[in-house]
A and B are shown apart, each in its own frame.
Chain A
C-alpha cells in the first residue's frame, strides 16, 4: 500500500549522539499501537544540516520540521500529527513558526532559504541505505550519460568547463587535474576519494558520506572513466564508523545492481571500489601521505613533483579528489557544465559546504553559492551570535587557515578573496569567534593540534610547530616580551616557507593571520600583562563586586577555600591562593564576580 506520509528521522552522527537512535523504535511502537504503521513510511536519513537543533523529525507531505526531538515526544507526534493531522506546534523548529503561529515548510525556514544544495542535494532527503531512492533522484544517470554518450576526453572537458575546483581546500580545477592523469599513459591508473576529514570542527564530508554515499561512488566512477582507471579507493578514517557502514552497504547494493563491476551499462568500462581505513592522522589528508598509507607504509608525505597524477599509488597515475568534490560531479555530469556555471561567481562556480560552529546560534552545515558574503552566512543563515555578544572574527580553514576580522565580513566567499584576507577556504570549517575569546588562546589551540599531528619527517614542521607553541604559551602566561612576538612571527614565516608538505606550510597560518589582524591583542599580553578576552588564566584575576548578596555559594564551591566572608556580607577572594578555576563565577546567582 502507498504510504500517505513519510517521516524522516535525521540519523547523522550529530543527531545520533544527541539520542536519535531510539526515535525510530518509539515511532514503530506508537504507530503499531495506533494501527497506522502501514500508512506511514519511516526513513532514517543523513544530516539535514542544522545540527544545533537536532535531533530532527521531518514529516512529509507537509514538510513539518520538528526540532530537538526526544523519545518522549514521539507519542504526541504519532497521536496528534500522524493520527489526527494536528501539527504539534510546540515541537516545531522555532524559526519555522511565523508570528501568527503558522507552520512553515522546511524549505521556507530562514536557515535553508539562502542555501543552495548541490553537494548535499540528497542529504536528509533520501534513505542512504536504499539505492533505489538515490536512483529515483536521478542517481547514476550522470554516470550513464558519461559512459554512453561521451568520450573520456569530453568528460574532462565538461568538468573543466564547469569550473569545479577542489573542495578539499586547495581549489585546484578538477577537470585540469583529471587531464594530467588522462595524458599520462599507463597500464593501470587509480582514483582515490579523500575522506580523511581531519580539521577540528569540520564535518561536512562525514555528513555527505553518511547521507548520500552513492553520490561518492558515482563521482568516483565518473572520474575513473575520465582518466582511464578501473579501480577506486575510498580512504576514510576509522573514526567515522557510521560513514564506513553506509559506504559498505552502498558498494554492496551498487554491485548487486551491476553498477559497480564489469561492463557497466553494457560498455567496456569496468570498475571496482575498495574502502581503505585510516587511523585518523591529520597528515594523511595530504595526497602523498595518503597514498603511502594506502600502500601500507607509514603516513608521511614526500616531495612533489612527481605529482600523484604522474606517479601516485604504486607508482601509477592517480587522481585524489575530496568527498565534497566528488559529490558535485554526478550532478554536473547529469545537468551539464552550463547548469553548474549558473551558480556562484565568475572564477568560483558552484557551492561550498561549511560547518558552522563556535559562537553561533544555528551551528550546523550550510551549503551556499560561492560569492555569498560571510555576513549572510553568519547572520542570515547562522542566526548571529548568541547572548547578543559582538563578533570578533571568523576563523576559516581550520588549523591551516586564519581569522577574518569583523570589518571584512562583507567580502564574498571565494578562494581568492579569503586568501587576500589572510585566511583560506580550507575544507570548510567556519568557526565564529565572539568578543569573549582570546586570539592567543585560539592560536594555541590550533598549534597544539598541529604539533600532535606533524608527521615528523621534516625539521621545520616537527621542531618549528613545537617552538611556536612554546612561544604562544610564554605569551599567554604573561612572561613574553615584544621580542617574543617578533620571534614568533619570524619563525612562523620560516616554517611556512620551508616545510615539506601542506601541513607544515599551513600550520603557521593561524598565527600569521592573527598577528596581522589582532596584533594589539598579542601586545596586550606582553606589555600590559592582560588578556583582553579574559581567557588566559595567568593574566586574569577574579574579583567580587558589591553586587554580592552574601549567599556564600561561591565560598562553598571554591575548591581551594580562598573565598572568605560571612552570610549576607560582601565576600572577598584571596588572590594569592586563587587558582582561577572560575567555579565561583559559574555558581554566582547575581553575576557579582568579574574578571579583569
Chain B
C-alpha cells in the first residue's frame, strides 16, 4: 500500500461487493419468478437484467425475484420501482429488458410497448 489512492482503488472496486446490503433507496426491478413466470421464460429475462446492470455498473439498481404477481397469462412480468412509482411490464423478453434499461431506468421514460398499467402505490 503506497498511497491513499491505492486504497481508494480497492475500495471503489470492492463497493460492488457490499452495496446490495443495507437500506436500499435505489431503483428496484422485480421479476415475477413463480412457476408460471419461470415456465414463460422469466429466468433469461432476470439474467439479462443482472448482466446489463453488471456491465453498465448501474450501482443503484437491484434485481429481485418475486413470487407470482397474478397475471399468469401475460408472464414474464417485470415491475420497476422508482421512488414511489411502480411500472408493470408484461410479456417481457430479452429485447424488452434492453429497452427497459435503456429507455426507462436510464432514460426515465416508460417503455409503452410493454406496459400493462401505471398506478401510484
Evaluate contact between B67 and A61: CB separation under 8 angstroms.
Answer: no
Interface hit among B31-39, B84-92, B93-101, B109-117: B31-39
CA distance in complex: A137, B16 (Å): 11
CA distance in complex: A202, B17 (Å): 32
Among all A-B residue pairs, the 6 with the closest Cβ atoms = A85-B65, A2-B54, A136-B14, A258-B1, A86-B67, A132-B14
Contact with A along B1-33 (1 / 0, CB 8 A): 111100100110111111011111000101111
Evaluate contact between B38 and A138: CB separation under 8 angstroms.
Answer: no
Contacting A at CB under 8 A, from B73-92, are none
Q: A107-B23, A126-B18, A132-B14 are in contact. Are A144 and B63 (CB under 8 A)?
A: no
- Residues in chain A within 8 A of chain B (CB atoms): 1-6, 8, 39, 60-63, 82-87, 105, 107, 125-126, 130, 132-133, 135-141, 144, 148, 257-259, 263-266
Evaluate contact between B46 and A4: CB separation under 8 angstroms.
Answer: yes
- Residues in chain B within 8 A of chain A (CB atoms): 1-4, 7, 10-11, 13-18, 20-24, 28, 30-35, 37-38, 46-47, 50-51, 53-54, 62-68
Pick the contact of B20 from A60, A137, A140, A257 — CB < 8 Å? A60
Evaluate contact between B34 and A84: CB separation under 8 angstroms.
Answer: yes
In the assembled complex, the CB of B78 is this many whole angstroms from the nearest CB of chain A, namely 12
Evaluate contact between A135 and B54: CB separation under 8 angstroms.
Answer: no
Pick the contact of A133 from B18, B37, B63 — CB < 8 Å? B18
Evaluate contact between B18 and A136: CB separation under 8 angstroms.
Answer: yes
Evaluate contact between A135 and B21: CB separation under 8 angstroms.
Answer: no
Residues of the B chain whose Cβ atoms lie less than 8 Å from the Cβ of A84: 33-35, 37-38, 65, 67
Q: A138-B11, A140-B7, A258-B1 are in contact. Are A61 and B50 (CB under 8 A)?
A: no
CA distance in complex: A3, B63 (Å): 10
Residues of the A chain whose Cβ atoms lie less than 8 Å from the Cβ of B13: 132
Q: Kindly report which residue of chain B lies nearest to residue A122, judged by CB atoms.
A: B18
In the assembled complex, the CB of B116 is this many whole angstroms from the nearest CB of chain A, namely 19
In the assembled complex, the CB of B17 is this many whole angstroms from the nearest CB of chain A, namely 5
6 CB contacts below 8 A, A to B, read: A63-B22, A85-B33, A85-B34, A135-B14, A136-B11, A139-B11
Given A86-B67, A135-B14, A136-B18, 10 extra CB contacts under 8 A? A4-B46, A60-B21, A61-B21, A63-B21, A83-B65, A84-B65, A135-B10, A144-B4, A265-B7, A266-B3
